[in-house]
Amino acid sequence: MSGEPLWAIFVNASLINNFVLAYFLGLCPFLGVSGKLATASRMGGAVTFVMLVSSVCAFGIQRALVAIDAPYLRLISFIAVIASTVQLVEMFVKKVSPELFRQLGIFLPLITTNCAILGLALFQTNKGYDFVECLVYALGAGAGFTLALVLMAGLREKLELASLPDVVRGAALSLVLAGILSITFMGFAGLGS
Amino acid sequence: MSDESVPTPGTDEFVKGLWRENPVFVQVLGMCPALAVSNTARNALAMGLATLFVLVGSNLVVSSLRHFVPRQVRIATYILVIATFVTVVDYAIQAISLDLHKALGAFISLIVVNCLILGRAEAFASRNHVGTALLDALGMGTGFVLALLSLGAVREILGSGSLFGVPLFHEGFQGWVVMILPAGGFFTLAGWLLLFNWLRERRATRLAALEPVGATGGGR
């Protein structure tokens, strides 16, 4: 138990300490998949889903590791379990809902190496959240990731039409945009306290 | 093994990571740690060295195991190897300097998911001799350290007016707070990328101008 109210955990994870814009987690998909609005929102949904699943797993592993007194195995078991869970989820979704599977497409396997997922597992352990708080934290982090991704995609779709010198095209432009978004999100500081 | 490349002169394997294929500035890989902990030069250097160590260790192990690991489970194996080295680094830093460990926080553990390391393991170490893999890791790692250091130095000089904690300006200097904040990381990296883009473009234009008429392949 950390004593924080649940809504504060949610607001904290999604807005104030946004995973992408404040912690720089999950930048690869953030810059890679934010070209189109439709893909961005789907990717956000997939990440949120995986976050929820892996948050539950990480909670269980942490309990088990504390029980056998082996904290040095934490990182290895987190990454192994998260990677295999994503694989499992992928197979499950493919079987149960081929429609959803087609929509998520290549994103599901890519999420395994997304630092936001492992980061979430590590942060929730460091903060000592209980089960419900972990779920809310994962939901908030996923919502924040989706929000950042969708905002970015919207901006980039508009910029497609602008005339720009060749030098700024590509990663540099996306980074400047991300910086401006990051400043914007700083306005939320102090909201949850 | 047919995928065994001929051992090339080692210098190229080393040098390419420094500039031509610099992991951060050219390949734009491994940005999460590059931006997150580069608010001071000291943190950036520590993070760079930690990554260098993990990269060298995992490249060595992956390269020596390349004949024994079945293809289907190779990625999982690489991740476990990398995670082992990261755990070593995590505990080593905790033992050397607790302050540093606090400043870097969870980002040491997050070296595991640095795409740079997995990328080198998959694209290079799993196909090459141990020696070549070692040189590649050293080059890429040094390139990463340099990139992190140039980000960290700019952010620290502009943000707090010091370098490695040593004040550079007189007392009246007001730091640009934004450079220390997350947004500064994005802006600094964007600035460096713009600079390199511009240099590359200028060089290309000059080369094109130097070439004899008729030899250029259209385009401009």
CA distance linking residue B190 with residue B196, whole number of Å: 10
Place of tokens 């197979």: A91
A19 in Cβ contact with A120 (< 8 Å): yes
Cα B85 from Cα B60, distance rounded (Å): 11
Q: What is the pLDDT of residue B10?
A: 65
User: CB distance A168–B184 less than 8 Å?
Assistant: no
DSSP assignment of B171-210 equals: TTPPP-HHHHSHHHHHHHHHHHHHHHHHHHHHHHHHHHHH
Q: Does the beta carbon of A88 lie under 8 angstroms from any beta carbon of chain B?
A: no
pLDDT attached to residue B88 = 92
Task: From chain B, pick out residues whose CB is under 8 angstroms from the CB of A24.
Answer: 31-33, 35-36, 182, 185
Q: How far apart are CA B82 and CA B80, in angstroms?
A: 5
Least confident interval from A32-41, A181-190, B7-16, B133-142: B7-16
CA nearest to A24, candidates B33, B128, B78: B33
- Selected residue of B82, B94, B108, B112 to mutate for chain A interface (largest A Cβ count, 10 A): B112
Domain parsing of chain B, residue ranges: 10-167+174-201
The domain ranges of chain A are 6-185
Q: Where are the alpha helices (DSSP H) in chain A?
A: 6-11, 27-32, 37-68, 74-96, 98-104, 107-111, 115-127, 131-159, 171-186
CB pairs under 8 A between A and B: 108
Quick one: three-class SS letters along B4-18? CCCCCCHHHHHHHHH
Strand pairing class (B162-163; B166-167): antiparallel
Phi-psi region of A49 (alpha: psi -120 to 50; beta: other; left: phi over 0): alpha
Per-residue pLDDT tens digits for A110-139: 676 677 888 888 888 888 888 888 899 999
Beta carbons of A118 and B109 less than 8 Å apart: yes
Instruction: Report the SS3 class of residue B162.
Output: strand
* Closest to B123 measured CA to CA, from B53, B23, B52: B23
Instruction: Report the distance separating Cα B8 and Cα B217, nearest Å.
Output: 31
For A56-115, what is each residue's pLDDT tens digit? 888 888 888 888 888 888 888 888 888 787 777 778 778 887 877 776 666 666 676 677
Beta strands (DSSP E) in B112-204 are 162-163, 166-167
The verdict on a CB contact (< 8 Å) between A167 and B194 is yes
Q: Which residues of B touch A113 (CB under 8 A)?
A: 113, 115, 118
pLDDT more than 90, % of chain A: 4
Please list the pLDDT of chain B residue by residue as tens digits (220 residues): 334 444 455 677 777 777 777 777 777 777 777 788 888 888 889 989 999 999 999 999 999 988 888 887 787 888 889 999 999 999 999 899 888 888 887 888 888 888 788 888 888 888 888 888 898 899 999 999 998 888 888 888 888 888 887 777 777 777 788 888 888 888 998 888 888 888 888 888 888 888 765 444 444 3
Which pLDDT belongs to residue B5?
46
Nearest CA in chain A to B109: A75
CA distance A63 to A128: 11
**Nearest residue to A20 via CA among A100, A95, A120, A121:** A120
Please give the structure tokens belonging to residue A147.
């929000």
Cross-chain Cβ contact A179/B106 below 8 Å: no
Chain A residues in contact with B200 (beta carbon < 8 A): none
Residue B10, min C-alpha distance to chain A (Å):
31
SS3 A162: coil
Cβ–Cβ below 8 Å for A83 and B79: yes
Q: Does A70 touch chain B (CB under 8 A)?
A: no
pTM confidence score? 0.81
pLDDT digit string (tens) for A47-61?
888 888 889 888 888
What's the complex ipTM? 0.81
- Residue B185 to residue B167: CA distance in whole angstroms: 21
Predicted local distance difference test score (pLDDT) of residue B73: 79
Helix (H, G, I), strand (E, B) or coil at B163: strand
- Residues with Cβ within 8 Å of A14's Cβ and at least 6 positions away in sequence, in order, are A140, A141, A143, A144, A147
